[in-house]
Amino acid sequence: MSYDKISVPENGEQITYDEEADELNVPDDPIIPIIHGDGIGKDVGPAAQKVLEAAANATGRNIEWMRVYAGESAREKYDENLPDDTVEAIKEFNVAIKGPLTTPVGAGFRSLNVALRKTLDLYANVRPTYHLDGVPSPVKNPSAMDMVTFRENTEDVYAGIEWEAGTDEVQQVKEFVEEEMGYDSTIHDGPVGIGVKPITEFGSKRLVREAIDYAIENDRDSVTLVHKGNIMKFTEGAFRDWGYEVAEEEYSEDVITEDTLWDEYDGEAPEGKLVVKDRIADNMLQQQLTRTSDYDVIATMNLNGDYMSDAAGAQIGGLGIAPGANFGESRCLAEPVHGSAPKHAGKDKANPTAMILSGRLMLEYMGWKDAGKLVRDAVEETISSGQVTYDLERQIEGGTKLSTSEYAEAVVERIEELA
Ligand code: NAD
Residue closest by Cα to atom 38 of ligand 1 = 339
Q: SS3 for 401? A: strand
Interval between CA 40 and ligand 1 midpoint (Å): 8
Residue closest by Cα to atom 10 of ligand 1 = 341
The mean pLDDT of 288-311, rounded to a whole number, is 95
Q: What is the CA radius of gyration of the chain?
A: 22
158 is catalytic: yes
CB-ligand 1 contact for 34 (6 Å cutoff)? no
Query: Mutation test of ligand 1: which of 338, 344, 355, 402 has the most ligand atoms closer than 8 Å to its C-beta?
Result: 338
pLDDT band at 130 (very low <50, low <70, confident <90, very high): very high
CB-ligand 1 contact for 319 (6 Å cutoff)? yes
Residue closest by Cα to atom 5 of ligand 1 = 341
Q: Which long-range contacts (CB under 8 A, 24 or more apart) does 16-22 make?
A: 16/94, 17/94, 17/330, 19/330, 22/330
pLDDT band at 264 (very low <50, low <70, confident <90, very high): confident
The mean pLDDT of 347-370, rounded to a whole number, is 96
- CA–CA dist 379, 156 (Å, integer): 35
pLDDT attached to residue 133: 85
**Average pLDDT of the chain?**
93
Q: What is the pLDDT of residues 84-110, one digit of tens each?
A: 999 999 999 999 999 999 886 665 667
Interval between CA 341 and ligand 1 midpoint (Å): 4
Interval between CA 339 and ligand 1 midpoint (Å): 3
pLDDT band at 255 (very low <50, low <70, confident <90, very high): very high
CB atoms within 10 A of CB 210: 19
The mean pLDDT of 385-402, rounded to a whole number, is 92
Q: Percentage of the chain surpassing pLDDT 70? A: 98
Q: What is the pLDDT of residues 308-326, one digit of tens each?
A: 988 999 999 888 899 999 9
The mean pLDDT of 45-53, rounded to a whole number, is 98
118 is catalytic: no
Atom of ligand 1 nearest to the CA of 99: 40
Check: CB of residue 318 under 8 Å from CB of residue 328. Answer: no
pLDDT attached to residue 105: 67
The mean pLDDT of 101-124, rounded to a whole number, is 81
Instruction: Please state, in angstroms and as integers, the Cα–Cα distance from residue 194 to each residue in 27, 70, 122, 157, 191, following that order.
Output: 48, 29, 26, 10, 10
Burial 354-375 (b: 16+ CB within 10 A, else e): bbbbbbbbbbbbbebeebbbbb
Q: What is the pLDDT of residues 148-197, one digit of tens each?
A: 999 999 999 988 899 999 999 999 999 999 999 999 889 999 999 999 99
The mean pLDDT of 338-351, rounded to a whole number, is 96
Residue closest by Cα to atom 8 of ligand 1 = 341
Instruction: Please state, in angstroms and as integers, the Cα–Cα distance from residue 106 to each residue in 37, 102, 163, 371, following that order.
Output: 21, 13, 12, 41
pLDDT attached to residue 403: 98
Among 38, 43, 85, 306, which one carries the catalytic annotation? 306
17 is catalytic: no
Burial 117-134 (b: 16+ CB within 10 A, else e): bbebebbbbbbbbbbbeb
> Does the CA dihedral 287-289-295-300 come out positive or negative?
positive
**292: closest CA among 131, 170, 116?**
131
Interval between CA 160 and ligand 1 midpoint (Å): 21
For the whole model, what pTM was predicted?
0.89
Residue closest by Cα to atom 4 of ligand 1 = 341
CB-ligand 1 contact for 100 (6 Å cutoff)? yes
